[in-house]
Chains A and B, each alone.
Chain A
């Protein structure tokens, strides 16, 4: 079967660092995506990993370990506007279809 697990909710303080984990079990793997979704809005693309290692993009970084079926999204210097849901999604082989986790709702407090 195919399964993607993320924590349901997390809280953090403005200015801090937070790591959102994602574990996956899929029949094939061809990339992992992170999306940000503010309440009532559509998801927006944050990052893509297909090889092991860390991809850094400004305050956001994403890490992948294919052997462990594990990824994390690291958010640095948290801002209030980072309060949102973060969706982990995996792409299978020979397809553009994505399987989404249920998302992690992050609340940033002052």
Chain B
């Protein structure tokens, strides 16, 4: 069966610190992968998507970056966090059409 994992589940980081969030998918090959952010009380904002290893498309300008070093691994990074980076970060995969979400990482930047 297909599963998606994200870690950590929660994270509290000071402004200016680096960030690395990881997402892995099991049970499927060559999925499309997505990073979303959901600010409190707001909709899902697509940050990055990937159709294959090393292929990353950025949807909005920001101080975040993404990488896909392996077929089923997707990483979201930042060199220096801003207060506005706080939110609920969701990874999703699409084996063919429907997107399925991971459990998410709640990030609080202080």
Contacts and interface: CB of A to CB of B under 8 A. Distances in A.
Contacts of B34: 97
Nearest to B41: A102
Contact of A100 (B32, B43, B97): B43
Contact of B90 (A43, A48, A103): A43
Contact of B94 (A35, A87, A96): A96
B110 interface: no
A21 B106 CA distance: 29
B99 interface: yes
Contacts of A89: 44
B104 A42 contact: yes
A42 B98 CA distance: 15
B97 A102 contact: no
Contacts of B7: none
Interface in A25-41: 31, 33, 35, 40-41
A96 B104 contact: no
A7 to B, nearest CB: 13
A98 interface: yes
B103 A33 contact: no
A41 B100 contact: no
Contacts of A98: 46, 99
Contacts of B106: 40
B97 A97 contact: no
B49 A42 contact: no
B49 A44 contact: no
Interface in A67-110: 87, 89, 96-98, 100-103
B104 A31 contact: no
Given A96-B32, A97-B49, A43 B44 contact: yes
Interface of A: 31, 33, 35, 40-45, 48, 87, 89, 96-98, 100-103
7 contacts: A42-B90, A43-B90, A45-B98, A45-B99, A87-B44, A96-B32, A96-B49
